[in-house]
Amino acid sequence: MIKTFNSLFVTMIGLGKIKFIPGTFGSLATTIILYYLFHTLKISPNIILIILIIIFFYSFYAVSNYIENNENKDPSEIIIDEFLGQSIPIYLYEVSHNSTTDSSEAIIYYTLFFILFRYFDIMKPFPVSFFDKNFKNSFGVIMDDICAGFYVVLTLVCFMIIKNYIL
């Protein structure tokens, strides 16, 4: 029972089993889910943060459980790490705007977050590559995407700083 639950959890209810670009589908699904939670259901950012923290900590156990008898310690069907990494810039954007952003503005930013996250997740600049190469366990699986999520945030902060000096 727990193996089945963990399999559904780490593959985001089987979405990771898609043979073609499962990580991209996981990131896209995350973007849509969080948009729906923030802008349609208007759930409190505090509640969403609690959910994200629970998912983060449970992911270490679930991924470990999923890969324990698997030769490949970072199979592509595990996409809960994409969910976590993609959630970082979206959540911080929403909190910084007190969830009062215009929906059309949010769509533009969410699209930008999606593109940047996929770029950093695929290109794996340091320290994303460090976690990916040196930790062949649940920690490495999850932390490379967490770093990619923070790279998105760092990129946007740098852009805002440069923009303020130019304009």
Assess contact for 79 and 23: CB atoms under 8 A.
yes
Q: Where are the alpha helices (DSSP H) in 68-102?
A: 80-96
**What confidence tier does 27 reach under pLDDT thresholds 50, 70, 90?**
very high
**What does pTM read for this prediction?**
0.93
76/16 Cα distance (integer angstroms)? 7
Which residues does 55 contact at the CB level (< 8 Å), separation at least 6? 80, 83, 84
Q: Dump the DSSP string for 48-88.
A: HHHHHHHHHHHHHHHHHHHHTT-S-SS-TT--HHHHHHHHH
85-120 pLDDT, tens per residue?
999 999 999 998 875 667 888 999 999 999 999 999
pLDDT at position 100:
62
Q: Which residue has the tokens 């590559």?
A: 129
Which domain, by its residues, includes 151? 2-166
Residue 136: pLDDT over 90: no
35-94 pLDDT, tens per residue?
999 999 999 999 999 999 999 999 999 999 999 988 877 889 999 999 999 999 999 999
Total structural domains in the chain? 1
